[in-house]
Amino acid sequence: MTTDLFSVQDKTALFTGSSQGLGLALAQGLGRAGSTIILNGRDPDRLDRAVESMRSTEIAAHGFAFDVSDETAVTEGIGLIESQVGPIDILFNNAGIMVRKELHAFSLADWQATLDVNLTGAFLVSKCVAQGMIKRRAGKIINICSMQSEMSRPMIAPYAASKGGLKMLTRGMATDWGKYNIQTNGLGPGYFKTELTKPLYEDPEFDAWLCRRTPAKRWGELDELIGAALFLSSKASDYVNGQILYVDGGLLACL
């Protein structure tokens, strides 16, 4: 009974921006739990390598390359997934980028690129995937938020604006699509070592500050996100809608 509650067996799950890092780790978690996995990213070679690495561990995985900020590419990509693999039961809006500079040094192009991928991308992909979920009266959407959905940090104001926006988009999706039995929630990771956070974990000062500042006294391990991902993807969260679940070693709880 408890096992069924958290089951994602035989579901199909799309993870945007999952050819490496956090999205790939989440996809491996659901794949090991029996879901069919759709990986995505812009670079087709990196995507192929990620698909192969999953298949080598007996996970049913497929790769579809498209840019989440390009509406035409998103529509085509989701159409191909649905015709070649099948209906998408679970969507993780994970694709994200971070540009680091003081706010007054940001060009409009860098600002727009950040908002286009991190916020508009989630809108475009969700809108497209939701068409099928609405017809089927079932779906799970998980938006990958951040500590910056709640707090800013020096040099990343546009990223914080995008992740704060994503938190409210999560609530908007929950509000409009709850009646169709679609649950939309956010998963808010603390600090995990990926390409995106390389400038941070390679900086001894930041590393020491983070470990002092976080109640758990360490960075997160990517596998530590999987429990929350399974909860938000499964029947266990059928009456949970519009929430952000932070997996942060207690960081947000303490100043």
Ligand X SMILES: NC(=O)c1ccc[n+]([C@@H]2O[C@H](COP(=O)([O-])OP(=O)(O)OC[C@H]3O[C@@H](n4cnc5c(N)ncnc54)[C@H](OP(=O)(O)O)[C@@H]3O)[C@@H](O)[C@H]2O)c1
The 10 Å Cβ neighbour count of residue 235 is 12
Question: What is d(CA 185, CA 164) in angstroms, rounded to the nearest whole number?
Answer: 14
* 159 catalytic residue (yes or no): yes
Q: Which of 14, 54, 59, 95 binds ligand X (CB under 6 A)?
A: 95
Of 159, 180, 201, 239, which is the active-site residue?
159
Residue 144 within binding range of ligand X, rule CB under 6 A: yes
Asked whether position 23 contacts ligand X by CB under 6 A, the answer is yes
d(CA 52, CA 252): 37
Q: Given the complex with ligand X, which of 31 and 41 has the nearer CB atom?
A: 41
Q: For ligand X, which residue of 67, 130, 167, 226 counts as binding (CB under 6 A)?
A: 67
Which of these, 214, 244, 198, 220, lies nearest to 25 by C-alpha position?
220
Q: Rounded to the nearest 5°, which phi and psi values hold at 240?
A: -110, 120
Q: Please report whether residue 194 would count as binding ligand X according to CB under 6 A.
A: yes
* Cα–Cα distance for residue pair 116/112, rounded to 1 Å: 6
Residue 170 binding ligand X, by CB under 6 A: no
Residue numbers 98-137 binding ligand X by CB under 6 A:
117, 121
Q: How many CB atoms lie within 10 A of CB 52?
A: 11
Residues recognised as catalytic:
159
- Give the binding site for ligand X (CB under 6 A): 16-23, 40-43, 46, 67-69, 94-97, 117, 121, 144, 146, 189, 191-192, 194-197
